[in-house]
Chains A and B, each alone.
Chain A
Amino acid sequence: MQNILTSVALLALTAGMASAEGKLSIYNWFEYIPQEMLDKFAAEYDVEVTMDTFDSNEAMLAALKAGKMGQYDVAVPTDYMVAIMAGEGLLDTFSHDEIPNFANIDPKWIDVPFDPGRRHSIPYQWGTTSFSVNRDVYTGDIDTLAILFNPPPELSGKINVLDSQGEVLALASLYLGIPQCSQDREQLKALNAMLLDAKQHWASFGSDTAKDVLVSGDAAAGMIFNGFSAKARAEGANVEYAYPREGFVAWMDNAVLLKDAPNRANALNFMNFLLQPENAAALTNYAAYTSAVIGVEPFLDDAIKNSPENNPPASAPQGTFVGVCDQATQELYDAIWTNLKK
C-alpha cells in the first residue's frame, strides 16, 4: 500500500514537472465551459488549466474581495459586475493588440456601457431576459411587458418572477418608460406603486426554478433567460419567449483580466482563444446562448442557430443592460425591492 502511494505521489510529481510550461487559473460560472475546450487550450499552449466555479456574481465578488485576488487570472462576470469590479480596482487593463483575435468581436459589442472600449473584458456569451408564456393557456398578444406587470385574467396568479432585484426592477422601469438609476421622486414612487400592484398577479419569485415551473405547468408565464426558455421548450413545454416592444434586459458575461493575475500572458492567450470563431461556437453550442464573435455561424448547431429564443424578430428593440447606480440611488432601489417583498 505504502509503495503504491509513493509511486502515485512520484508520478503526480513528475507529471507536474513534465507538463505545464505555465499555468492558467480561471474563475467561471458553474457549467459554463465544456471540459474539452479547457483540454484543447491546455494542449495548444502547453499550460496547466485549473478552474473554480461560482453560482452568482455577488458570490464571486465577495470571494475575490475576501482575499482571492492574485489567485485567478481570468474571471467571467456579468455586465454590471464588470463595471463594479472595475470600480473597485479589481481588473487589469490590456491593449487591443495584446489579443490578436480582438478584431473578431462584433463591433456593436465593443463600446459597451459597462466597459467602454473594452479595456478589461472580452465578450463571453450574451443573452436576454424577458418572459415566456405558455401558449396552451394564453394565445393573445405577448409583445408587451404588461404580461408581467398588468397581465390578462388568464395569466393572473400564474406568473413566476425571477428572484433577482436588478432584472425585475430593470424590466419594471422599461415597462414604465423611466430610466434606470433614476433619482426622480415621481418616477420612483410610480415604480414602487406599480410593482406593489403587480405583485397580486404573481404566484412566486424563483430564479433556480424558473424553467421547472414552466415545464411542470405550475406557472403559465414566467420571467426567464432566453436560453433557459429554450430548454423549457425542449423539455416539452409549449412556451413562447417574448421580445416585448417596451424593451427587455440584455446581459453579457465577459471574460475579464484580473488585477495581479499570476499568469497574465496565459490569461491573454486564453481570451484570444475564446475569440477564435470555432471555440466561441463550441462555447455557444454548450451553453446555448449567443456568441458576440463574427464568423461563428458555420460552427453552430442548427438547433441553436435557428432557435426562436436566440433570434429576436426584426421588430424587436435593442436589449438594455442592467444599470450600475451609485450608493445613494442604489439604496432607493433596495428600499423599493424590500417594500415589494415585505
Chain B
Amino acid sequence: MAGCPDIRRYPGFAAMAALCLTILYVPLAVVIAYSFNASTSLTNWGGVSLRWYADLFTGVEAPRFRAAAWNSITIATLAATASTIIAAAAAVAMVRGGRFRGKGATFALINLPLMVPEIVTAVATLIFFSTIGLMTGYLTILIAHITFCIPFAYLPIAARLEGIEETFEQAARDLYATRAQAFRLILLPLMTPGIISGFLLAFIISLDDFIITNFVKGAGMETLPTAIFGSVKQGIKPNILALSTVMLTVSILFVTLSYFVNRLGQRSRA
C-alpha cells in the first residue's frame, strides 16, 4: 500500500482542506483581533487595548457574566457527567447485551435528541415543564441538558465498545473473575478513551447550547450563551469578543490537555 500513495491523493483535495480550515478560522481571527480593539464599536478600529478584558472582570456586566459562567460550567459538568454515565450503561447493554426485544426501538430512542430539531426539543420541553409547573431554572436546564447530551456521549462510547473484543473479558471470567471485576479491571479501562471523548462532546454541547436553554431557563437564570445573547440585545460590544476569546483559550487548553493525557495513557499502556 505504501508503494502506491497515488490512490490516496486526489488533486485539489488538499486545497479544499486548506480552504475548509481558512473558512473556519478567519472569523475566529476577527473575534480575537477585535477583542483587543480600544473602540466601543465593533466595526471601527480604535487601536490596541486590553480594556475589554478588564471590563470583563471589573465592568458593570462582570457580576452577570461571572454568575453565568458559573452556571454554565456547573451545568455542563453535571450534565456531561450524568449523561456520560447513562450513555455508558446504555452502550454496554446495547453492544454487549446480545439481541433483545426492542433493541431497534431503544437505539432510535437514544438517538432521538439528535433526530428532533433543536427548536422542536426546546418547544416541547418548555410546554412539558410549564404544564407540570416546574420552572425552577437551574434544575429544568440541567434536566434538559442531560437529556439531549445522552446521544452525544453515547456515540463515541458505543463506537469504542464495538472495537473491543469480548475475548478479554471472557478470559477474565474463565479465570473466575466476577462480572463486576471483569468490568472494573478489563472493560472500563478499555472503554475509557470513548468515555472521555463522550464526556467532552457532551460538555461542549451543553456549554454552547442556546436555543433549548433560552426556552426553559425562566427568570433570573443565565448561562453564558443566554447572557451573551442578552447583552447583544443592547448592541454588540467588544467585551463579548473578549469573553469569547477567553472561552476559546480555556477550551483549547482543556482539549489540548486531554489530548496529551490521552496520548500519555496510550503510550504507557503500549
Binding site for B on A (CB under 8 A): 27, 30-31, 34-35, 52-56, 60, 63-64, 66-68, 71-72, 207-212, 215-216, 228, 231, 234-236
B44's partner among A53, A60, A68, A236 (CB-CB below 8 A) is A236
Name 6 interchain pairs, CB-CB below 8 A, sorted by A.
A35-B60, A55-B230, A67-B218, A71-B219, A208-B233, A228-B235
Binding site for A on B (CB under 8 A): 39-44, 60-61, 63-64, 130, 133, 135, 218-220, 222, 229-236
Question: Are the CB atoms of A55 and B60 closer together than 8 Å?
Answer: no
Question: Are the CB atoms of B43 and A215 closer together than 8 Å?
Answer: yes
User: Shortest distance in angstroms between A195's beta carbon and chain B's nearest beta carbon?
Assistant: 25
Task: Pick from A27, A30, A64, A236 the residue with the most CB of B within 10 Å.
Answer: A30
With a cutoff of 8 Å between Cβ atoms, the chain A residues found around residue B229 in the complex are 55
Question: Are the CB atoms of B39 and A66 closer together than 8 Å?
Answer: no
Question: Are the CB atoms of A215 and B219 closer together than 8 Å?
Answer: no
Question: Are the CB atoms of B61 and A54 closer together than 8 Å?
Answer: no
A66's partner among B135, B231, B232, B235 (CB-CB below 8 A) is B135
Task: Pick from A27, A72, A209, A212 the residue with the most CB of B within 10 Å.
Answer: A212
Question: Are the CB atoms of B130 and A66 closer together than 8 Å?
Answer: yes
Question: Are the CB atoms of A64 and B44 closer together than 8 Å?
Answer: no
A235's partner among B41, B130, B233 (CB-CB below 8 A) is B41
User: Shortest distance in angstroms between A90's beta carbon and chain B's nearest beta carbon?
Assistant: 13
Known: A53-B64, A235-B39. A211 touches B235 (CB 8 A): yes
Question: Are the CB atoms of A68 and B135 closer together than 8 Å?
Answer: yes
Known: A67-B135, A215-B43, A216-B43. A54 touches B219 (CB 8 A): yes
Question: Are the CB atoms of B236 and A68 closer together than 8 Å?
Answer: no
Report the bound CA distance from A40 to B191 in whole Å: 57
Report the bound CA distance from A56 to B230 in whole Å: 9
Question: Are the CB atoms of B219 and A27 closer together than 8 Å?
Answer: yes
With a cutoff of 8 Å between Cβ atoms, the chain A residues found around residue B135 in the complex are 63, 66-68
Report the bound CA distance from A56 to B232 in whole Å: 12
With a cutoff of 8 Å between Cβ atoms, the chain B residues found around residue A207 in the complex are 233
Task: Pick from A35, A52, A55, A228 the residue with the most CB of B within 10 Å.
Answer: A55
Question: Are the CB atoms of B233 and A63 closer together than 8 Å?
Answer: no
Report the bound CA distance from A63 to B231 in whole Å: 18
With a cutoff of 8 Å between Cβ atoms, the chain B residues found around residue A208 in the complex are 232-236
